[in-house]
Amino acid sequence: MATNRTFTMLKPDAVRKGYIGGIIEQITASGFRIVAMKLTQLTTDDAAAFYAVHKERPFYGELVEYMTSGPIVAAILEKENAVEDFRTLIGATNPEEAAEGTIRKKYATSISENAVHGSDSDENAAIEGAFHFAGREQF
């Protein structure tokens, strides 16, 4: 059964370029409630663990380096059908293939520096949310 929460990160390129406000505005205007949120920075160990599923991919080293290159915004979001609806809102991994109006189409720099993360399953949303937030930080 689908749960109603997903996990997101506004990635270092989006934070560096001053897009936090615009992206959060689009997320909340699309019906997501912010359950948890913080500005933080991943260590190399954090990023390596978070993206461990990609460790055999050729871009893994680049991805870990990029994700540790500056602050990120981590957040848990709530909405009916949250995981699927948020993936639709952010658009395809490669911004060149993302639909018009999606967050990646508007704010991403490239396929690697693509502005925002969204969990790909309810199971991963729960794991990723717990990776970043204690229970008392979730509202």
Long-range contacts of 61-64 (CB under 8 A, 24+ apart): 62/112, 63/112
On whether 104 is known to bind a ligand per the annotation, the reply is yes
Residue 8 interacting with ligand IDP (CB under 6 A): no
Q: What is the dihedral of CA 118, 47, 122, 100, to 10 degrees?
A: 10
Contact 27, 133 (CB under 8 A): no
Stretch that binds ligand IDP, among 19-27, 37-45, 78-86, 113-121 (CB under 6 A): 113-121
Q: Looking at 78, 84, 120, 122, which residue binds ligand IDP (CB under 6 A)? A: 120
Q: Is 112 in the site for ligand IDP (CB under 6 A)?
A: yes
Phi-psi region of 25 (alpha: psi -120 to 50; beta: other; left: phi over 0): alpha
Find the shortest distance in angstroms from Cβ 94 to ligand IDP: 8
Does 111 contact ligand IDP by CB under 6 A?
A: yes
Rounded to whole angstroms, the Cα distance separating 33 from 22 reads 16
Query: Is 132 annotated in the active site?
Result: no
Q: Does 122 participate in binding ligand IDP (rule CB under 6 A)? A: no
Annotated active-site positions, please?
Answer: 117
Chain contacts with ligand IDP (rule: CB under 6 A): 59, 63, 93, 111-112, 114, 117, 120
